[in-house]
Structure 1
Amino acid sequence: MTLMERLNSDMKTAMKNKDKTKLSVIRMVRSSLKNEEIKLNRPLTEEDALNVISRELKQQKDSLNEFEQADRKDLAEKARADIAVLQEYLPEPLTEEEVRGIVREAIQESGATSKADMGQVMKIVIPRVKGRADGKMVNRLVQEALQ
């Protein structure tokens, strides 16, 4: 089942169950996917769709951070619920140890020796962890490994 088929099926289920949170998130994601399809002027691949969902998840996490800083508990709770729904559609996230292993492999492949070579390492690591690891964590682990 493709991601779009799963979204459509889950949307119908959410309507039947009157799950307003899940329904609104799925509608937002479908809208974002449609906008991306129009922007690219071609049907989306599964990877494109995962990128869109990852982007939406990052926006929700940023919003959650802002809401918590502003002490808006009501909006923070909504953002947490939206994040939980979005995470259902992403692949299983990598653990920090798994990312460390990928970083070590990338350093060996690129022959990097110092922080000046960080760009080369990131070019190798990012495609391998796309949608499955937080970019900030990847950046931190690459910096630690290149010290």
Structure 2
Amino acid sequence: MADTTLKAELTEAMKAAMKARDKERLAAIRLILAEFKRIEVDERIEVDDARGLAVLDKMVKQRRDSIKQFTEAGRDELAAKEQAEIEVIKTFLPQPLSDDEIDALIDAAISESGADSIKAMGQVMAIVKPQIQGRADVGQVSQRIKARLQ
């Protein structure tokens, strides 16, 4: 087992946040670790880095949805809290992919799968999704693939 797993990195960051008395960062990290623990208990598995990235990606997406709803409801203080949590979560995600890198991954996946129509979109997504997990918005990449295959 590697010493620099995502879970170990989160634990160290939690300790650092405690020492620095950074309550907002500490709360966000505890939310992440609680979600990892929930998955481990419910599914009786050890959360590995790949699954951890998927969880972090999902948490960012949930918070973006919450920000949209809070903003529409005029609850700017709650939207700001969610945005602060996103910023903390993003520190544990890998560097985001550029548009050119995403296009290159899509092109490679299309040629690898031999996709020539929208019917083969699932095959292309199956190749691309693991490579972009935590590094790009899956929904936006899906739209780009759809546009490319039409």
CA distance in 2, matches of 1:4, 1:122: 27
Specify the alignment match of 1:69 in structure 2. Answer: 72
Structure 2 residue aligned with 1:28: 31
The total of aligned residue pairs comes to 147
TM-score normalised over the length of structure 2 = 0.91
Aligned residue identity for 1:19? D
By how many angstroms is 1:63 displaced? Answer: 0.8
Displacement of 1:39: 2.0
Match of 2:22 among 6, 19, 37: 19
Residue 100 of structure 2 is aligned to residue 97 of structure 1: yes
Give, in angstroms, the shift of residue 70 of structure 1: 1.6
**Contact residue 63 and residue 79 of structure 1 kept, 8 A:** yes
TM-score (norm 1): 0.93
Identity within the alignment, %: 39
Match of 2:91 among 88, 95, 98: 88
Write the distance in 1 (CA, Å) between the matches of 2:120 and 2:9: 41
C-alpha distance in 2, partners of 1:141/1:125? 12
Q: Report the Cα offset of residue 92 of structure 1.
A: 0.8
Paired AA for residue 63 in structure 1: S
Gaps of 5+ in 2: none
Q: Give the aligned partner of residue 45 of structure 2.
A: 42
For 1:140, the equivalent position in structure 2 comes to 143
- Bigger drift between 42-51 and 21-30 goes to 42-51
**Whole-angstrom CA distance in 1 between matches of 2:123 and 2:54:** 22
Per the alignment, residue 115 of structure 2 pairs with 112
Counterpart AA for 1:140:
Q
The SS at the match of 2:109 is helix
